[in-house]
Copies of this chain bind each other. A is one copy, B any other.
Amino acid sequence: MTDHIKYSRERDALLLLDQRLLPAREEGFECRSVEDVVFALKVMVVRGAPAIGVTAAFGCYLAARRTLAETPADWRAVLSARLERIEAARPTAVNLSWAVREMRRVWDLNPDAGLEDLAGIWLARAMDIQAADIEMCRAMGRFGAAFIDHGDTVMTHCNAGALATAGYGTALGVIRGAVEEGKKIRVIANETRPFLQGARLTAWELKRDGIPVTVACDNACALLMHRGLVQKVVVGADRIAANGDTANKIGTFGVAVLAERFGVPFYVAAPVYTIDPETRTGRDIPIEERDPREVTHVGETRVVPDGVPVFNFAFDVTPAELITAIVTEKGALTPPYERSIAELFK
Binding site for B on A (CB under 8 A): 23-24, 188, 191-194, 196, 199-200, 203-204, 207, 213-224, 226, 249-251, 253-254, 257-258, 261, 287, 295-296, 298-313, 316
B300 engages A196 (CB within 8 Å):
no
Bound together, the chains give a CA A96 to CA B158 distance in angstroms of: 37
Bound together, the chains give a CA A200 to CA B200 distance in angstroms of: 22
A226 engages B214 (CB within 8 Å):
no
Q: Least Cβ distance of A170 to chain B in Å? A: 19
Known: A217-B218, A222-B253, A301-B301. 5 other contacts (CB 8 A): A191-B304, A193-B217, A216-B310, A222-B254, A257-B258
Between-chain CB contacts (< 8 Å), 28 pairs: A23-B302, A23-B305, A191-B295, A192-B219, A196-B303, A203-B308, A204-B305, A207-B305, A207-B307, A207-B308, A214-B310, A214-B311, A215-B295, A215-B296, A215-B309, A215-B310, A216-B295, A217-B251, A219-B250, A219-B254, A222-B257, A222-B316, A223-B313, A226-B316, A254-B254, A257-B257, A298-B299, A298-B301
B250 engages A312 (CB within 8 Å):
no
Bound together, the chains give a CA A196 to CA B249 distance in angstroms of: 20
Contacts A200-B303, A303-B196, A304-B191; is A220 near B261 (CB within 8 Å)? no
B200 engages A218 (CB within 8 Å):
no
Identify which of A219, A301, A305, A309 gathers the most chain B CB atoms within 10 Å of its CB: A219
Contacts A191-B193, A257-B257; is A219 near B251 (CB within 8 Å)? yes
Bound together, the chains give a CA A164 to CA B296 distance in angstroms of: 22
B254 engages A221 (CB within 8 Å):
yes
What is the chain B residue whose CB lies nearest that of A206? B308
Contact residues in B for A300 (Cβ distance below 8 Å): 299-301
Contacts A193-B218, A218-B219, A219-B193; is A199 near B24 (CB within 8 Å)? no
Bound together, the chains give a CA A250 to CA B218 distance in angstroms of: 9
Bound together, the chains give a CA A45 to CA B109 distance in angstroms of: 67
Bound together, the chains give a CA A303 to CA B223 distance in angstroms of: 22
Contact residues in B for A302 (Cβ distance below 8 Å): 23-24
Q: Least Cβ distance of A189 to chain B in Å? A: 8
A200 engages B304 (CB within 8 Å):
yes
In the A-B complex, the 9 residue pairs with the smallest Cβ-Cβ separation, listed nearest first, are: A219-B251, A299-B301, A298-B298, A222-B253, A23-B305, A222-B254, A223-B316, A216-B311, A193-B217
Bound together, the chains give a CA A304 to CA B251 distance in angstroms of: 19
Contact residues in B for A301 (Cβ distance below 8 Å): 24, 298-301
Contact residues in B for A226 (Cβ distance below 8 Å): 253, 316
What is the chain B residue whose CB lies nearest that of A214? B309
Identify which of A203, A218, A254, A258 gathers the most chain B CB atoms within 10 Å of its CB: A254
What is the chain B residue whose CB lies nearest that of A298? B298
Contact residues in B for A207 (Cβ distance below 8 Å): 305, 307-308
Contact residues in B for A215 (Cβ distance below 8 Å): 295-296, 304, 308-311
Bound together, the chains give a CA A296 to CA B217 distance in angstroms of: 10
What is the chain B residue whose CB lies nearest that of A318? B222
What is the chain B residue whose CB lies nearest that of A200? B303
Bound together, the chains give a CA A196 to CA B300 distance in angstroms of: 15
Q: Least Cβ distance of A216 to chain B in Å? A: 4
Contact residues in B for A251 (Cβ distance below 8 Å): 217-220, 222
Contact residues in B for A204 (Cβ distance below 8 Å): 305
